[in-house]
Amino acid sequence: MNQPHIAFIGGGNMAASLIGGLIADAWPPECIHVAEPDAARREALTARWPVHVTADNAAAAQHAQLLVLAVKPQVLREAAVALAPAVQRDHPLVISIAAGVREGDIARWLGGDVAVVRTMPNTPALVQSGATGMYANALVSAEQRDQAETVLRAVGLTLWVDTEDLLDAVTAVSGSGPAYFFLVMEALEQAGTELGLSPEQARLLSLQTALGAARMAIESDDGPALLRQRVTSPGGTTERAIAVLEDGKLRELFTAALRAARDRSAELAQVLGEQ
């Protein structure tokens, strides 16, 4: 079976990561088209892969069966309105990776009656370790859902949500989530230096510990709570440290932080849709 043609509107870092993942998964580069206004980025893309590049969004989208909207949320409306004639003519599956822009607004800007999958990837997708939440509107077929999943799985884990508002929760957990872990790494590094380690020693120990803990959690059939209990010996150093974190209401802080992120995601979607 011939691989469908896919067009990326926007050739930035996330689009490049998806392109690299797709090609690594044997998607033919001759079936990949990229519209990118920046000449240096176009040159960088063709230097890495033999894909088709252009500065013209409509030219890239022409006859593509999959259309990936990979522009900044603030310019998505303008790009979508300009693409509406091509979308209404060819009826591609539209996949949006633009944060915070609702499916209904995207479909409306594209002329209506459009199969749209809205996704929320996170920045670890740049190193093929992403987590992406996905929502499909009612016009997306089962085959198109599989196609969208294939595209986003090229950069990591994917999961579907049944209602679009849950993408705000996805944004709070995994979209913003890398920053939470970076903050913990930053705090560990700072605390380590205050205990006498050199900055380099504290940094390496913090990063490797984070990596090791994540790998243990991914590869284990047990949940984080049980894994934590196994490394928390009664009366030991870890138990003392965990008690301090619990006394500081760490769990309540995370709940409040994620609620704030979720609410802000919904607010931004409202603002972007009104533009």
The 10s digit of each residue's pLDDT in 167-198 is 999 999 999 999 999 999 999 999 999 999 99
For residues 60-70, average pLDDT: 95
For residues 68-87, average pLDDT: 96
> pLDDT value at position 275?
66
What is the per-residue DSSP string for 134-187? EEE-TT--HHHHHHHHHHHHTTEEEEE-SSTTHHHHHIIIIISHHHHHHHHHHH
Name the DSSP class of 4: P
Q: From 3.40.50.2300, 1.10.1660.10, 1.10.357.10, 1.10.3730.10, which CATH number describes the 177-264 domain?
A: 1.10.3730.10
pLDDT tens digits along 100-129: 999 999 999 999 999 999 999 999 999 999
For residues 248-266, average pLDDT: 97
Residue 273 binned pLDDT confidence (cut-offs 50, 70, 90): confident
Name the DSSP class of 141: -
Does an H or E element contain 264, and which? helix 250-274
pLDDT at 1 over 60: no
The Cα–Cα gap between 78 and 62 comes to 18
The Cα–Cα gap between 92 and 97 comes to 16
Question: Class for domain 6-165, per CATH?
Answer: alpha beta
> pLDDT value at position 171?
97
- Contact call for residues 45 and 19 (beta carbons, < 8 A): yes
> pLDDT value at position 128?
94
pTM of the model: 0.92
pLDDT tens digits along 223-254: 999 999 999 999 999 999 999 999 999 999 99
Domain edges within the chain: 6-165, 177-264
- Contact call for residues 61 and 86 (beta carbons, < 8 A): yes
Q: Across the chain, what does the average pLDDT equal?
A: 96
Residue 63 binned pLDDT confidence (cut-offs 50, 70, 90): confident
In the block, residue with structure tokens 């063709």: 46
Residue 53 pairs in a beta bridge with 34
> pLDDT value at position 197?
98
DSSP-based three-state secondary structure for 116: strand
> pLDDT value at position 86?
95
